[in-house]
Amino acid sequence: MGMVLSSVFSLVSFAYILDAIMELTNRWYFCGPNIFLQFLEKAFVYYTLQKIYVHRGDNLPHHGCFLRKMHDDGTTKFRFWQLFVFLIETATISCISVCYVHYIPQFVKGFVDSLFTGPDGVPSLDWDHELNDFRLIALYSKTCGLFFLFSAFFGLAALYYFCKADCVSSPTFASPATTSAVRNHFFCKAGNLLKTIQLFTGLILVAMGAMLSISLISAWTYLLDHPLPPDNTIGPACDPVDPTECLLPFPSSFFTVEDKSTITGIRVNIQIDSLASMYRGRNPKQPIHYLNKLDGFSTSGPILFYVEGFKEGANILVGPEDIQSSVTEKSLTLLIDLDSRSLVHHFAEIDHLDESRPSIIVQPSRSLHHNTHYAMLLVNAHNVKGEYLSASQHLQYLLDAKKSRDIFPDSSRGIFYRDTILSDLQEVAPWCDSTTPIQMLFDFRTISSYSQLGDTLEVAAITRQVVRKWGKWDNNKLKVVKMEDHDMCKEHDDPIGRVIHGEIQVPSFLSKQHERRNRIDVEAVVKGIPTSTHGFKFIVLVPCSIAVGSTPLKAVIDYGHGFLYSREEILHQGELHRIANEEGYVYIATNWRGMSFLDLGVIVRALVAQPHIFESVKDNIIQGYGYKAAVQHFVKNDLLK
């Protein structure tokens, strides 16, 4: 029974994972639980077919008409296995019909999209480990529907012949010999079809058995052999100010060390144990060197922390629609610039993805200043009874001059909090005094501009130098893949008159161009010599007003697609098409390397199992800026020509 339950859990979970990753249809979950039932049912059908061929003639078991077992004496008995087969197969046909047949256009398009064919009609050849996995999953998830559909029809066909074999004889059954002869005659005629049914059912069993084995192995690897670490990971590598998660609050000076060689005087120091809850399965824990090279925290990232009982107390946070109130007494969250001694405008919200322990997300209204010291506070928050919430025990010790001596070596942080931050708090927020209840307090320093942008600016600058040396974008560096002239300008159905799908050659500093899990070649950047040159595709939209010459060109706009989308997005932005036609704009769109759908595999793997490989995402984003620099040079110098 335990194995059966594990199998059901694994297969159903596998179906849900497919749905979550590939976003097939919101009806896929109806099909998921059917997989395991089909496996059992197909095994029974296969067994029954085999039994028919082994026991021919007089030894053939007496079957009954549909859902009934008819004996030679004319009596009948209800046959449950036929009902089981019938219900499973009809449910399969209904399910797959709803999931797939109803969506034939999407189904056909799904096969094309599974091959990641670009908007210019040319298949993408950018295959790597993660993308290969996603494409195989996409193909499997779309073909298994048709596979199950055909298997259901074969199952019903087998059931039909089971029933017909029993009903061809007279209900009174003159004699066993006569009954046997009739059945033998029937099976001689239907033998080829039954053999086909048996063969196909056997193939289905093999496929389902393989899927079942893979699911069980996966479940064992990630759940049993290496259980998930607890959510509450508290230890020496964790900031005790927030005992919820090891990396909370974030960002925090707790995760830094003094380093006089950096511009800011500090360096990020996130230990392996701080990331323990982020690793899954057999993946070895590895240090994230790329983060520990930085001299501070991001100027644009969210600020995260959790306070027990905050959500239940129905506390009202200042949202994005009321940012001006974030520097007033109305705001429970206060973000202080300690260098300039001023409050920073921001908005805050509760992360409802984790209903049990929802974090508070604070987002500054603009990017924070580089190399600047900040403090984050939560004050005057109350619980469901209207009473003020308590700070964590460690924070209470930090704010208490007597108790902070007991938490050495963190006592220096307590001195800084009491003598500097609380003093600045009363200055920038005069409505707060020494009696104001503080539920959360932590500080952090932002990264220097060179540490954050130096590599990106350097790659972009070298890319411009390289393309300038190339001179004009000739036929060796530029290719028009596809050009679409629309006749709709006359009918005003679409304000876009021409769509150009092109490809330009761009320099690259990546170690391996056709893999997303790769790194910037630092030596190549230092020498200013690209590691390779390859094609980079783009889309140009020319509005009707410019195509027919009625409106002069005012600007060429570089369109940036959404996170994990592609350049194809610009083709469906009807409002932007209208604006371009009215104002005289030409749009150019490209895939942003590091943030397009082609990077989804690496990002997912980094987030759910291997955070150390996120360094490749960073390097791909840096290379993406280099590509943008090349495209902008092309736009300014050769696009209009």
Per-residue pLDDT tens for 625-639? 999 999 888 888 887
Give 122's pLDDT tier (boundaries 50, 70, 90).
Answer: low
| Whole-number percent of the chain with pLDDT over 90 | 25
Average pLDDT in the chain? 73
Contact 218, 255 (CB under 8 A): no
Task: Output 586 or 22, whichever has higher pLDDT.
Answer: 586
Q: Which range in 360-364, 504-508, 559-563 is most confidently predicted, on average pLDDT? A: 360-364
Residue 507, pLDDT above cutoff 60: yes
Q: How many CB atoms lie within 10 A of CB 215?
A: 22
Alpha helices in 23-119 (DSSP H): 28-31, 34-54, 80-99, 104-114
Q: State the greatest distance between any 2 C-alpha atoms of the chain, in Å, as a whole number.
A: 107
SS3 396: helix
Question: Where are the chain's structural domains?
Answer: 80-115+128-157, 253-447, 450-639
Q: Which range in 21-25, 408-412, 544-548, 580-584 is most confidently predicted, on average pLDDT? A: 580-584
Q: For 75-84, what is the mean pLDDT?
A: 53
345's enclosing H/E stretch is none
All residues at 6 or more sequence positions from 456 whose CB lies less than 8 Å from its CB, including other chains: 621, 622, 625
Residue 258, pLDDT above cutoff 90: yes
Residue 434: alpha-carbon gap to chain centroid: 46
- The pLDDT assigned to 30 comes to 36
Residue 487, pLDDT above cutoff 90: no
pLDDT tens-digit profile of 223-248?
444 454 555 456 788 888 988 888 88
- The pLDDT assigned to 6 comes to 37
- The pLDDT assigned to 172 comes to 39
Contact 499, 571 (CB under 8 A): yes
Contact 153, 204 (CB under 8 A): no
Give 268's pLDDT tier (boundaries 50, 70, 90).
Answer: very high
At residue 582, what is the residue type?
E
184's enclosing H/E stretch is helix 176-219
Which residue in 419, 458, 434 sits closest to 379, CA to CA? Answer: 434
Nearest 10 degrees: Cα torsion 403, 409, 414, 419 = 120
Burial of 276 (0-12, 13-18, 19+ CB in 10 A): middle
Q: For 572-597, what is the mean pLDDT?
A: 89
Quote the DSSP letter at residue 419. I
Q: Is the peptide bond before 251 cis (omega within 30 degrees of 0)?
A: yes
Q: Which range in 341-345, 405-409, 473-477 is most confidently predicted, on average pLDDT? A: 341-345
SS3 346: strand
Contact 584, 546 (CB under 8 A): yes
Angle CA(351)–CA(356)–CA(359) in degrees, nearest 5?
30
Give 153's pLDDT tier (boundaries 50, 70, 90).
Answer: low
442's enclosing H/E stretch is strand 438-445
Residue 370, pLDDT above cutoff 70: yes
pLDDT tens-digit profile of 159-176?
555 555 444 444 433 444
Please give the full DSSP string across 7-42, using - where no structure is assigned: HHHHHHHHHHHHHHHH---TTHHHHTTHHHHHHHHH
Which residue in 218, 324, 315, 226 sits closest to 276, CA to CA? Answer: 226
- The pLDDT assigned to 182 comes to 47
Quote the DSSP letter at residue 307. -
Q: For 600-619, what is the mean pLDDT?
A: 80
- The pLDDT assigned to 325 comes to 94
List C-alpha distances in Å: 331 to 154, 334, 346, 363.
Answer: 66, 7, 10, 14
Residue 337, pLDDT above cutoff 90: yes
183's enclosing H/E stretch is helix 176-219
- The pLDDT assigned to 522 comes to 86
| Whole-number percent of the chain with pLDDT over 70 | 59
Phi and psi at residue 71, to the nearest 5°: -90, 170
Q: Which range in 17-31, 126-140, 489-503, 556-570 is most confidently predicted, on average pLDDT? A: 556-570
Cα–Cα dist 238/243, whole Å: 8
Phi and psi at residue 85, to the nearest 5°: -60, -45
Supply 597's token pair. Answer: 């759908």
pLDDT tens-digit profile of 343-368?
999 999 998 877 778 899 999 999 99
Cα–Cα dist 275/246, whole Å: 7
Residue 78, pLDDT above cutoff 70: no
Q: For 53-81, what is the mean pLDDT?
A: 45
- The pLDDT assigned to 514 comes to 58
Residue 608, pLDDT above cutoff 90: no
- The pLDDT assigned to 519 comes to 84
